[in-house]
Each structure stands twice: as structure tokens, then as C-alpha cells.
Amino acid sequence: MDIHYNNARDPMTTQPMSWPHSLSKLGAVLGLTTTLSLASGLAYAQQEPEFRWRMQRYTGPETAELFETFAQQVKQASDGRLEITLFSGGELVPNEQLLAATGGGLIEMAYGHGAYWAGNFDLGRIEAGLPLAWTSLDDVRYLWGELGFGDMLDEAYAERGVHYLTPVFGGPYELLSKEPVESLDDMREIKIRATSTLAEVLDPLGVPTVYLPPEELYVAMSTNAIGGVIYGGAFDYELLKLQETAEHYTELGLLYPGYVDNLLVNQRAWDQLPEDLKTVVSLAARDLARRHHDWFEAGTRNTLQKDFFVQHSLPDEDVKQLTESAQALWDEEAARSDRNAKAIEMLRDMATTSGRLQ
């Protein structure tokens, strides 16, 4: 799955049923009213924190305000007992080492992406999002909650000395192209930038692909080195100014949410917190996830309303072909562990029930 170097990720606003705390309690627990903010501000300013955490995210300065709000909420709601110092991508450790750094206690908290450590974490690519794994928020809510994939991640991350706090579900993952694309046949006529994971699905269908890092996409599209790019959604493409290079935006049905991130906490640091602070952190994390989601979805809507792009979509039959082509990749992931095999079985049951897979 593509890792967006300059975008925030966000989860759904409704948490899986297996996680008990309701977001409706957030205002009361986090103490976000003006009166409480002023009162607690005076209190925590005059005392030393009982707990000091370092948190690194893999994203850059574009998400700073979202995370600063999270840290401030925790500080206020804890009356200054828990203070979180924030670091952006790569400041303390390389992003691919965030899991190891969190489990080892170098940092207490991380905002990460499972694909970064998929090489030594069996569920990493499945968690991050395999092509055609899900196509709606209802799918991921059902997978994480009802089917128990969230519980599997709890177990897997606990083996690494990490408490899995919450998923962060992202936005669209669509095609931007110089020419109209409304079928797989159209896709076969252009060279498309795609990740190696996605290429495993497209190449067998005769769609030519090449990988380029995000910073090279503008030049590649401007010079016709490639005719299309699959990197994210409309908001991503505007951030990269790719609307200056192409105007055709095709909904592929490959994956929505297009990526899943996570919020992780060092297990020892988590165990040291009293129950009331665990509740504060849990609810603040879910609120951060919600705000990420709102920010990203609003950005996507705003971009599409600017008339940068002519919108297209693939027919259902072509989406079914893509899903069938993805099965070899799913099989590869299933073979990595018994746990992976169970997760892939969940994905196949969902795809069969929805009619995407025969």
C-alpha cells in the first residue's frame, strides 16, 4: 500500500463494537469546555507532570496542528499529570523503525503505518490495506469490530511490547490520468505509476506500471514519462499540484479507505498509567483519529468541488477482474502465518458476501 509522505491519515468516527468507550463521552472526559480549560490550565501550569511521553508521527509539518491539539487535550484532561512531547517524521528515528522504537521504549507513543514494518510483522501489509481488501467504511468497521481483526492486531502488537490503541482509516486511492480512463482496456493503453504491491495486481491484467517516489510525480506527468498515477485521492493530487498535469480522475474501487494507520503505545508506559489516564489517552486518540478523518474527507470534497478534474469510474465487471487478480497477492500474505491465513479468510468472506469475489 502506498505510504503518503505528506498527508494525514484518519480513522472512522464510529469505533468497533468490541472497544467499549463511546466518543459521546469525549467532551466530559477530556474536559474540553472553556471553563474547564481555563481552570485546569492554571492547575497543570503549576505542577510537574507525573508522566512524560515522547510521541513521533511519520507525517510532516502539515499535520502538526492535529497532533498539537491531541497533546493539549491529554494535558488538560489529566490536569497536567501526563505531558506528551511531539516529534514529526524522522526526527528521532526513521519512520520504518517506529514500531521497534515504541516497543523498545525509545519513544512512548507512535503514529505509524503497518507497511513500514511489514517485513518483520506478519499482519503489517494486511493492516495497511491490500488491494481490493475492502471498499467501504462499513467493510472496515465490520472487519475490525465484528470479525475481530482489531483483536488480532491487539495480540500481534502485544508480542512486540506495544499496546495497539486505535486504527486510523484513510481516504480514497484512485487514478489520475492525462487521458480519460473508464475501463481496464483504457488502463492498458497508458503507463501508470503504482506501488510494487499494486503492480502485482495490475501487471497480470496487462496494465503497464512503473514505480516513482512522490517527489518525482509532477515532472514525470508533466513530461509524459507516465500517463497516470495511483497514489491517493483528489486531495493528495492537489497537494502535489498534479492538477496542473492531468485532469481525469477515475474511481477504481481498488481500496476504500485507501490506507490504514495506527496509534501505538509502549506497553510498559501504558501499564504504568492509572485507569483514568488510560481512558483520557484512549478517548483523545479516537478524537484525533476522527479529526484526521474529517480533515482529509473535507479536503477531498473541497478539491473535487474546484472542478480540477473530470470524474470517471470503472464498471463493476472490471472491478471484479481486479479482485480476482489480487488473489495471488492475498495468497502470498496468507502463507506468512496462521494468523495471516485467518485474516485473509475474513477478507475473502467479505468479498464473497458483497459479490466482488465468486
pLDDT tens for each residue of 155-190: 999 999 999 999 998 888 999 999 999 999 999 999
Q: What is the mean pLDDT of residues 67-82?
A: 97
C-alpha cell at 16: 468497533
First to last CA, the chain: 24
pLDDT tens for each residue of 260-304: 999 999 999 999 999 999 999 999 999 999 998 888 889 999 999
Question: 74: closest CA among 100, 58, 53?
Answer: 53
Q: Compute the distance between CA of residue 104 and CA of residue 54 in angstroms, rounded to an integer.
A: 13
- pLDDT for res 74: 98
Taken in order of first residue, the domains within the chain and their CATH numbers are 23-170+260-304 (3.40.190.170), 174-256+308-354 (3.40.190.170)
- pLDDT for res 38: 39
Q: What is the mean pLDDT of residues 28-39?
A: 42
Torsion sign, CA atoms 139, 283, 110, 337: negative
pLDDT band of residue 5 (cuts 50, 70, 90) is very low
| Local structure of 285: helix, strand or coil | helix
Confidence (pTM): 0.81
C-alpha cell at 198: 499494486
| Percentage, residues of the chain above pLDDT 90 | 72
Q: Compute the distance between CA of residue 275 and CA of residue 337 in angstroms, rounded to an integer.
A: 34
3-state secondary structure 79-128: CCCEEEEEECCCCCCCHHHHHHHHHHCCCCEEEEEHHHHCCCCCCHHHHH
Q: Which residues make beta-bridge pairs with 235?
A: none
pLDDT band of residue 1 (cuts 50, 70, 90) is very low
- pLDDT for res 21: 35
Q: How many Cβ atoms sit within 10 Å of the Cβ of residue 244?
A: 13
| Local structure of 225: helix, strand or coil | coil
- pLDDT for res 16: 35
Angle value at C-alpha 96, between 94 and 97, nearest 5 degrees: 70
Question: 177: closest CA among 226, 118, 232, 126?
Answer: 226
Phi and psi (nearest 5°) for 271?
-65, -25
